[in-house]
Amino acid sequence: MTIIGIDLGTTNSAVAYLKNGKPEILVNKSGGRTTPSVFQINRNNEIVVGQEAKDTYPTLVTQSVMEVKRLMGTDEKVTVKDKEYRPEEISAHILKYLKSSAEEILGEPVTEAVITVPAYFSDSQRKATKMAGEIAGLKVDRIINEPTAAAISFGIENMDKDQHILVYDLGGGTFDVSIVEMYEGVVEVKASAGNNHLGGMDFDNAIVAWVEQKYQGENGRSIYGNTNDLEQIKIKATLKDAAEKVKKLLSAQMSARITIPFLGIYNNAPISVDYELTRNEFENLIRDMASSTIKDVDRALADSGLTVRDIKEVLLVGGSTRIPFIQELVERKFGKAPRKDINPDEAVALGAAVQGGIKSGEIDSKSGLMVIDVCPYTLGTEVVKNIGGQLVPGYFDPIIPRNSTIPISETKLYFTAYNNQEEVDIFVYQGENPLVNNNTCLSKDITLDGIPRKPAGEEQIEVTFTYDINGILNVKAKVLSTGKVREQAIRSQLGVMSDDQVAAAQERISEEYEKSELYQEVKNVIYRAEKMMNDVNPSDKQKIEKLLIELKRELSANNTNGVKLAEEELTDLLIELV
């Protein structure tokens, strides 16, 4: 059974599998090697994923979702055609599309996958990704880090070399850097750093802001004129689409025009833009963001105890590394040109497919590859500190230091802080700041009770953090004197779905697919009826029209039974009239 590898990206996704020991991209149903991560329910209630959904996005904004990866791990909902969805459900639709594209090519059901996430993704973002897979009907064997996957796809071609490489991964929505050591078939990550909110879409937004300002400056009013909220969303979507195109052109030429003849209407006159953006101006717009990636590179280097000179190869991954300015920054930093022979859009999915092959046993550990990864951030708990006789909460106490090799289990001993303290709350945080408020809270709902009443400091609590190979954290707390234990995978925090919610989402997704296929099923009947209306007498035409209206009404109400009945009636009539 094939275990596919999926790169579930902010802007684009890709799927690959292992064919005769080599990873290969699986093209999607439209023949694309990558698939825009865009979901839509179109006017006919059909589910559309990929290029078509991206192309029609500006005209169908309330029916489409883009960039949902940025919401993974939160409980923020998105609305599509008046229905609310969790981010996992939208991602599940994208995964389901990739899964069925793979099934069409492989000619067999696909039920297992390795999915990649940014190295800097938190525990809840990883769990949300795993759940999206489950909702889509995929057992997610492994969650692996995107730069690690890219290193694996490079590693499988370069097994004979012992060297340190650096993976610089700048995609649509996230940035990661990983330093990887390769030796004797082992791909060992030494350190990772990154930013979950930096990528090509931020560069697009910077161009949109530039257009807005330029328009305001020239016209003395906002580009959005006096349009309503929905029109503003549509204008913004059109601007973003144009901005991305100009950005891509600027990777190949020194200047490009952003021309949109009709964005909307202001005082009966069309709102339009026609501006020239030079590569130099674009570089100024993204300079600070681009420079911040080099700070992360420095941190990863420092954490790995290596210097620029120790890095033998630099791999550029992610579509945004096609920007010449980014390539120059990296080249200047390392004093050598990055590798050009890996495909920045495909390397991650290919590496995930290799990991799938390791899991399925197709690549065996003797002749094959071994992958060792790290936890890129520090994990710890909140503690109170005694400051001048006062107990002050809010301090972060690290348990697993960042860039520890995973899997890892670390234990620390704590003492009761108050006299007769009977319970303790374990608040779990991720981050590098000494104060918890500046870090990310992963859980506030682990409480250990049953501590014997004693003076402060006389009872000991043992806290164990276990971080598994998928980057998922388990916390165990134990009262040492009694042996009472509270153990849980961090699951119930905000933004992570319960088992029941996952089951309900699985049901909903199947139902939606069934409904989506309704239109496909009756499309031919509608086509035949519309054609026949031109060839029959006025009274028959009226009969057809009546049933056609009925069928379309049932379709737009998404009423499966109603559609079936109306279709039967219409088909009977058409047969009668032939």
| Residues designated as active site | 7, 69, 146, 169
Q: Applying CB under 6 A, which part among 196-204, 352-360, 376-384, 418-426 lies near ligand AMP?
A: 196-204
Tell me how many residues contact ligand AMP (CB under 6 A). 19
If the CB atoms of residues 2 and 327 are measured against ligand AMP, the closer one turns out to be: 327
If the CB atoms of residues 81 and 322 are measured against ligand AMP, the closer one turns out to be: 322
| Three-class secondary structure of residue 482 per DSSP | coil
Q: Is 195 in the site for ligand AMP (CB under 6 A)?
A: no
Among the listed residues 133, 137, 171, 495, the single contact to ligand AMP using CB under 6 A: 171
Q: Is 50 in the site for ligand AMP (CB under 6 A)?
A: no
Which amino acid type is present at position 222?
A: S
Q: Is 176 in the site for ligand AMP (CB under 6 A)?
A: no
If the CB atoms of residues 182 and 323 are measured against ligand AMP, the closer one turns out to be: 323
Give me the least distance between CB of 343 and ligand AMP, in Å please: 10
CA nearest neighbour of 121 among 101, 94, 147: 147
If the CB atoms of residues 150 and 496 are measured against ligand AMP, the closer one turns out to be: 150
If the CB atoms of residues 250 and 426 are measured against ligand AMP, the closer one turns out to be: 250
Q: Is the peptide bond before 261 cis (omega within 30 degrees of 0)?
A: no
Q: Is 182 in the site for ligand AMP (CB under 6 A)?
A: no
Give me the least distance between CB of 246 and ligand AMP, in Å please: 10
Q: Applying CB under 6 A, which part among 104-112, 301-309, 313-321, 569-577 lies near ligand AMP?
A: 313-321
Give me the least distance between CB of 249 and ligand AMP, in Å please: 8
Give me the least distance between CB of 54 and ligand AMP, in Å please: 11
Q: Is 10 in the site for ligand AMP (CB under 6 A)?
A: yes
Among the listed residues 145, 251, 293, 466, the single contact to ligand AMP using CB under 6 A: 251
Give me the least distance between CB of 24 and ligand AMP, in Å please: 18
How many Cα neighbours within 13 Å face the side chain of 290? 21
Q: Is 355 in the site for ligand AMP (CB under 6 A)?
A: no
If the CB atoms of residues 11 and 516 are measured against ligand AMP, the closer one turns out to be: 11
Q: Is 495 in the site for ligand AMP (CB under 6 A)?
A: no
Q: What share of the chain is helix, strand, coil (3-state, %, to 5)?
A: 40, 30, 30
| 180 vs 190: CA distance, rounded Å | 6
Please give the DSSP secondary-structure letter assigned to residue 573.
Answer: H
| Three-class secondary structure of residue 402 per DSSP | coil
CA nearest neighbour of 497 among 94, 114, 82, 77: 77
What are the CA-CA distances from residue 67 to residues 59, 226, 271, 427 (Å)? 17, 27, 27, 30
Among the listed residues 155, 318, 351, 380, the single contact to ligand AMP using CB under 6 A: 318
Q: Is 322 in the site for ligand AMP (CB under 6 A)?
A: yes
* Sole residue written with tokens 């909110």: 197
Give counts: helices (H), strands (E), the chain. 12, 27
Residues 488, 489, 493: CA angle, nearest 5 degrees? 100
Please give the DSSP secondary-structure letter assigned to residue 58.
Answer: G
Among the listed residues 87, 133, 155, 172, the single contact to ligand AMP using CB under 6 A: 172
If the CB atoms of residues 93 and 476 are measured against ligand AMP, the closer one turns out to be: 93
Q: Is 116 in the site for ligand AMP (CB under 6 A)?
A: no
Please give the DSSP secondary-structure letter assigned to residue 484.
Answer: -
Q: Is 118 in the site for ligand AMP (CB under 6 A)?
A: no
**Structure tokens that stand for 96 in this block:** 């389901």
Question: If you write DSSP's letter for every residue of 226-275 in order, what string do you get?
Answer: T--HHHHHHHHHHHHHHHHHHHHHTTTSSEEEEEEEEEEEETTEEEEEEE
- What residues numbered 449-478 form the site for ligand AMP, per CB under 6 A? none
Q: Residues, the chain, total? A: 578
Question: If you write DSSP's letter for every residue of 428-448 in order, what string do you get?
Answer: EEESS-SBGGGSEEEEEEEEE
Bridge partners, 64 (sequence order): 40
Rg (CA), the chain: 27
Please give the DSSP secondary-structure letter assigned to residue 464.
Answer: E
Q: Is 9 in the site for ligand AMP (CB under 6 A)?
A: yes
Among the listed residues 2, 101, 293, 320, the single contact to ligand AMP using CB under 6 A: 320
Q: Is 25 in the site for ligand AMP (CB under 6 A)?
A: no
* Sole residue written with tokens 């989506």: 516
Among the listed residues 247, 279, 402, 515, the single contact to ligand AMP using CB under 6 A: 247
**Structure tokens that stand for 276 in this block:** 């020239």
Interface residues toward ligand AMP, by CB under 6 A = 9-12, 171-172, 199-201, 244, 247-248, 251, 318-320, 322-323, 345
